[in-house]
């Protein structure tokens, strides 16, 4: 179950309350405020707070206090300009806070983005739940031969079942050992009075990286979009990409004008090197360019040809 009963009760109370405010609010985001959006098998994201909206971006760029005095098309044009020319400060005026439940190995990848405020569930203080991530069969794959940090062909049949059995069996044994080391029942009393058990901060080291942790993660819009540009990319690891894609929908609800600009100028756009740009210009001029004469490495050449849907052999 992605949410504990206590969390479900907390969310029900929070969603049952309304507050008057003079702050800007976004109805589309208010609709899902506090709600858990499922990710993977036991994970979720949920928006627990936010500050600002599209108008706050425009306001910061114009350094004015006027709201509602400009047409939406003008605001979209300005936000497009800011995104296109990478004027980042106005986007930093908006912030959002998420509650995220995620596998530990995903958290360790995620935490490399050092531009957020993070408070993680403490396994020194509390006991971790017996919840661990097991990939869906279609997400099991061999090591890629051309990419040291990617996946290759999907594993199927008996081989896939063997992987799933190993992952599930190892996690179950790890948690059984963790529980034995803790030697605590639900009330915190020793299960086996013949020995005192181990400190929580030590017992946790027996758990594997697919166990779930939780944190609160607060970030400004500019740095969130940078995170999403990397982690919602098709080349990102599937597990963290699943979280990024769920977060993209919350951004669409929160700042729809900035979201459209982000898709147009970041997510669905491309950066081309100076040499790559020269290759394109030469091709447009009618010159036949191949990799040896392009000035690009073989890898850069393949990437450029894939980008412009050209025949790499040309």
Q: Does 233 lie in the same domain as 302?
A: no
Rounded to two decimals, the pTM is 0.89
What's the structural domain count of the chain? 3
Which range among 14-18, 181-185, 235-239, 308-312 shows the weakest confidence by mean pLDDT? Answer: 308-312
Which range among 13-17, 196-200, 256-260, 288-292 shows the weakest confidence by mean pLDDT? Answer: 13-17
Q: Does 280 lie in the same domain as 257?
A: no
Q: Does 175 lie in the same domain as 93?
A: no
Provide the pLDDT for residue 314. 44
Q: Does 220 lie in the same domain as 151?
A: no
Whole-number percent of the chain with pLDDT over 70: 95
Over residues 75-125, the pLDDT tens digits come to 999 999 999 999 999 999 999 999 999 999 999 999 999 999 999 998 888
Over residues 17-27, the mean pLDDT reads 86
Provide the domain limits for residue 183.
134-208
Q: Does 172 lie in the same domain as 23?
A: no
* pLDDT top residue among 57 and 67: 57
Q: Does 129 lie in the same domain as 43?
A: yes
Q: Does 242 lie in the same domain as 188?
A: no
Whether the CB-CB separation of 144 and 238 falls below 8 Å is answered with: no
The model's confidence at residue 195, banded by pLDDT at 50, 70 and 90, is confident
Provide the pLDDT for residue 311. 56
Catalytic residues: 231
pLDDT at residue 272 is higher than 60: yes
Distance CA(207)–CA(188), nearest Å, equals 20
Over residues 242-254, the mean pLDDT reads 98
Provide the pLDDT for residue 280. 96
Over residues 53-77, the mean pLDDT reads 78
Q: Does 150 lie in the same domain as 62?
A: no
pLDDT at residue 67 is higher than 60: no
Distance CA(205)–CA(202), nearest Å, equals 6
Q: Does 201 lie in the same domain as 88?
A: no
Look up residue 137 and give its two tokens. 């069969």
The model's confidence at residue 13, banded by pLDDT at 50, 70 and 90, is confident
Provide the pLDDT for residue 66. 54
Averaged confidence pLDDT in the chain: 90
Q: Does 196 lie in the same domain as 59?
A: no
pLDDT at residue 163 is higher than 90: yes
pLDDT at residue 304 is higher than 90: yes
* pLDDT top residue among 21 and 286: 286
Provide the pLDDT for residue 312. 44
| Chosen domain end from 164, 182, 208 | 208
Which range among 71-85, 160-174, 222-236, 245-259 shows the weakest confidence by mean pLDDT? Answer: 71-85
Q: Does 229 lie in the same domain as 200?
A: no
């Amino acid at each position: 179950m992605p949410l504990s009963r206590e969390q479900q009760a907390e969310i029900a109370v929070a969603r049952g309350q309304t507050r008057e405010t003079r702050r800007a609010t976004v109805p589309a985001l208010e609709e899902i405020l506090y709600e858990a959006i499922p990710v993977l098998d036991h994970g979720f994201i949920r928006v627990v707070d936010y500050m600002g909206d599209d108008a706050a971006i425009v306001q910061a760029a114009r350094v004015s206090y006027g709201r509602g005095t400009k047409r939406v098309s003008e605001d979209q044009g300005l936000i497009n300009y800011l995104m296109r020319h990478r004027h980042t400060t106005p986007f930093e005026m908006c912030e959002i806070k998420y509650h995220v439940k995620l596998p530990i190995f995903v958290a360790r990848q995620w935490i490399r983005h050092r531009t957020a405020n993070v408070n993680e569930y403490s396994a020194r203080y509390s006991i971790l739940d017996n919840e661990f991530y097991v990939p869906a069969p279609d997400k099991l794959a061999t090591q890629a031969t051309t990419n040291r940090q990617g996946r290759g062909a999907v594993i199927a049949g008996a081989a896939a079942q063997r992987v799933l059995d190993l992952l599930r069996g190892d996690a179950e044994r790890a948690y059984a050992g963790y529980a034995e080391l803790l030697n605590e029942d639900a009330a915190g009393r020793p299960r086996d009075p013949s020995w005192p058990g181990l400190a929580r901060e030590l017992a946790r080291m027996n758990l594997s990286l697919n166990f779930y942790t939780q944190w609160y993660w607060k970030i400004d819009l500019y740095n969130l979009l940078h995170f999403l540009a990397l982690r919602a990319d098709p080349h990102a690891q599937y597990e963290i990409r699943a979280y990024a894609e769920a977060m993209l929908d919350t951004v669409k609800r929160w700042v729809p004008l900035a979201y459209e600009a982000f898709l147009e100028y970041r997510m669905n756009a491309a950066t081309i090197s100076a040499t790559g740009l020269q290759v394109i210009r030469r091709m447009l001029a009618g010159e036949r360019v191949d990799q040896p004469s392009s000035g690009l490495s073989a890898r850069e050449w393949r990437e450029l040809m894939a980008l412009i849907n050209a025949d790499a052999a040309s």
